[in-house]
Amino acid sequence: MGRISELPNDLLIKILSFLPTKVAVSTSILSKQWEFLWMWLPKLVYTSSCCYSKSEDKRLKCFLDRNLPLHKTPVIESLRLYFRYPHLEPGDIKLWVLTVVSRYVLELEISYFTYQNEQDILSSSLYTCKSLVTLKLNGMILVDVPRMVCLPCLKTLRLECDDHLDEIVVKTPSLKYLDFTYYSFKIHHCLIENMPKLSEAYVNVSFPILERLIGSITSVKRLTLLQVDYGSEDVYGGGFVFNQLVHLNLRMYQRYSLNVQVRLLKDSPKLRLLGLDLCRSRRDVHGTNGVIFWNQQSTVPELLSSGAV
């Protein structure tokens, strides 16, 4: 340890940043010099799984309760929390989220799965975090959005959930990347405002959401669209033009695929690259045994007739 300890603290912190957080923390026992070095790490990852015992989760809780508020870096670049059936209370996680929001967190990623119903683990201050650039939520998280929402710096939003949302409200004018997966058809209210700076989107949602989302993402340059069986060939209404779209990836049922392709090609005058993944069975994405339904088109998209694609 003699030679490495002679290195400047900034370089030692850089070295620690390449280690898993748990390993970096363990270096605190090496010497007085190393005792608090890990507390300057800008990126933190903490996990708890069903393999962990109740006592181990309790130790993790005590560690975070004690040390997270004392973390020394002025800006936490990222906090990643992966909890699968943990022996933790929702209030514990909410407190940690509150702490990093107060420390100007730039990226927050939470994966949370529990045997119980969806849990409220997000501090209300998260929805007005002025520093947050990336937000990724996955699992059984109750998203209880307050009336006041302002995420002025948010550029990347990723939401993965099954069925626990009564309302979807998206107000992210600075968003540049959207990854949105939501399968439920049960949605009572949906408000998605225009995203003029959005350049890339991955969309895998049910029809009621897509119908309200599509008009807000017409500024994208790259779009990946996974089509669910909407029961309708009119997949997203009319009157939309993707003026900036140059790269389109489609994964969809063959049942409506050709009609949707033609529709999107008509609405994308600058399209240069088209990727297709047509699914035959429900296991592939609920297809129809390879049967292709084609409605005779009165016109052929200019991109196809000119051979541009």
pLDDT of residue 253: 60
Please give the Cα distance from 108 to 131 (Å, whole number).
11
Ordered mean pLDDT values, 10 residues apiece, the chain (309 residues): 74 88 87 86 87 84 91 92 88 93 94 85 90 91 79 84 68 86 69 89 79 87 76 61 91 62 83 78 42 40 50
Residue 19 lies in a domain: yes
The identity of residue 293, as a single letter, is F
Domain membership of residue 146 (yes or no) is no
pLDDT of residue 179: 86
**What's the CA gap between 247 and 268, in Å, rounded?**
10
- Burial (CB < 10 A; 0-12, 13-18, 19+), residue 256, is buried
**Token digits of residue 243:** 């003026």
Supply 187's token pair: 């949605």
Quick check: is 34 in a domain?
A: yes
pLDDT at position 285: 44
Closest of 105, 187, 83 to residue 154, by C-alpha: 105
Would you say residue 101 lies in a domain? no
State how far the Cα of 32 lies from the Cα of 28, in Å rounded to an integer: 8
Structural domain for 16, as ranges: 1-41
Domain presence at residue 18 = yes
The pLDDT of residue 290 is 37
pLDDT of residue 203: 87
Q: Which pLDDT value is given to residue 299?
A: 46
- Number of structural domains the chain divides into: 1
Q: Can you give the pLDDT at residue 31? A: 82
Please tell me the predicted confidence (pLDDT) of residue 298: 44
**pLDDT at residue number 150:** 84
In a domain, 51, yes or no: no
Tokens (6 digits) for 132: 């947050």
Residue 36 lies in a domain: yes
